[in-house]
Chains A and B, each alone.
Chain A
Amino acid sequence: DAKTTQPPSMDCAEGRAANLPCNHSTISGNEYVYWYRQIHSQGPQYIIHGLKNNETNEMASLIITEDRKSSTLILPHATLRDTAVYYCIVRVEWDDKIIFGKGTRLHILP
């Protein structure tokens, strides 16, 4: 079973920051928070992951609360190409299995 809870869908205006929340209240000390996204009819794409510190890369930023029970993925300047289902996953770093929850369907509005 997925260990995360995400809103089923969100809207964001093009050019604005998209903030996608994720609850993972049962996360273990050695589990990381991973984010993937899936554009329609494509395979999932890795975005970012982190343990407890905030992380940033060329795609997004990941903000993890101090108690690690929730996190937020931030797409700083959303474009129409960011329309996708975003999956928040907790797992031991690069552990074998990736178990997907239901994710958040992000709609970018022109």
Chain B
Amino acid sequence: GAVVSQHPSRVICKSGTSVKIECRSLDFQATTMFWYRQFPKKSLMLMATSNEGSKATYEQGVEKDKFLINHASLTLSTLTVTSAHPEDSSFYICSAKNNEQFFGPGTRLTVL
């Protein structure tokens, strides 16, 4: 299957700082990318859907001003967690879609 990468794989930051996570489709162009969040021992929760060149669509209860999503090209989407707090510590996973949907390896964010 196609490959989706995420960078960084792991990040630790201080409370109040912003963190950017990149999601790249390496060998295909993704018309749509998705961002999920997963807390320990819980299932994946869809946060938002992003289409290249347009604003992201956020799921109910997800703060768009806190979780900034940019999908500037068909191979790159970024998620910025602004003013991160310890409760934002989680496993963030992206997926990218052309016809099929492929998942990235995830980014573990720890906010101290």
Contacts and interface: CB of A to CB of B under 8 A. Distances in A.
A105 B36 CA distance: 19
Interface residues of A, number: 17
Contacts of B34: 96-98
Given A43-B105, A102-B43, A97 B100 contact: no
Contacts of A99: 46
A98 B32 contact: no
B32 A100 contact: no
A45 B6 CA distance: 15
B108 interface: yes
A88 to B, nearest CB: 12
Interface string A49-89: 00000000000000000000000000000000000000100
Interface in B81-112: 91, 93, 95, 97, 99-106, 108
Contacts of A41: 91, 106, 108
Given A43-B93, A46-B100, A101-B43, A96 B49 contact: yes
Contact of A45 (B32, B99, B103): B103
Contacts of A46: 1, 100-102
Interface string B58-93: 000000000000000000000000000000000101
B44 interface: yes
A43 B3 CA distance: 11
Contacts of B46: 97-100
Contacts of B101: 46, 94, 98
Interface of B: 1, 4, 6, 32, 34, 36, 43-46, 49, 91, 93, 95, 97, 99-106, 108
Interface of A: 38, 41-46, 87, 94, 96-103
17 contacts: A38-B44, A42-B105, A43-B6, A43-B95, A43-B106, A44-B93, A44-B103, A87-B43, A94-B100, A94-B101, A96-B32, A97-B34, A97-B46, A98-B46, A98-B95, A102-B43, A103-B43
